[in-house]
Amino acid sequence: MRRLLAAVALLAATALPSAAGELAVEAQVGYFGMTAEQSAKAVFGSSGGLTFGGAVRYDVWRGVFVSGGLRTFSKDGERVFLTSPGAPIQKLGFPVSVRLTPILLSAGYRYAHWKWVVPYASVGAAITAYSEKSDVAGQSFDQDFTKTGFVGAIGVETGHGRLRGGVEVGYSTVSNAIGFAGISKIYGEDDIGGFHVVGKVILVFGEKPPKRRPWRPNFPKP
């Protein structure tokens, strides 16, 4: 929560010097697929699942925007033993759970020249908190750390009033991270980023500044 408040404060600080623009709050839900696919499948049985969160967006100037948000993703599985990438996976029966919580700070451009459809693209930083909880024969083995990587996304928003919808696809990379119960080294996977596709419900506050009419000389009529 503190990280999300810090992200919102950063957005506010960036937006204050700007002319008044459109402020939007987004609720997001969708699918996240981990880059470390083989490690995730070995431990959890699959490499993706539900992700959800929210974001705040502010239109700074002529389609340029900044945004900050937070999403979460979690999986439960069990520890495994593996000698090589092609060897049989041996389930050990010790539970393990992993949670990824990325804070996404981005800047981008929205093509707002169409009335009902607004495509956009953005790039930025993915500050990802990794939490792993596991128990082996009654002894806890937990890991918690934060790594920073990059995120890029494209999407489209629909609607024209205060309540709108949208969909976004994107990819994040957060490399050189430890995870997935220690077998990521065997598979050569160290990235805790991945692919996401989310649907959005968007609540808009304020309005875009009115478009300026092009100046034309006012010649006297003959």
Residue 81 makes CB contacts below 8 A (sequence gap 6+) with: 89, 90, 92
CA distance 86 to 115: 53
For domain 2-205, give the fold.
Porin (2.40.160)
Residue 1 has pLDDT above 80, yes or no: no
SS3 70: strand
Round to whole Å and give the CA distance between 57 and 52.
Answer: 17
What angle is formed at CA 52 by the lines to CA 98 and CA 143, rounded to 5 degrees?
20
Q: Distance between CA atoms of 31 and 42, rounded to whole angstroms?
A: 19
* pLDDT tens string 75-110: 999 888 877 777 788 888 889 899 999 999 999 999
d(CA 172, CA 91): 30
Give the three-class secondary structure for 150.
Answer: strand
The domain segmentation of the chain, as residue ranges, is: 2-205
**pTM, to two decimals:** 0.79
Structure confidence by residue, pLDDT tens digits, 141-162:
788 999 999 999 999 999 888 9
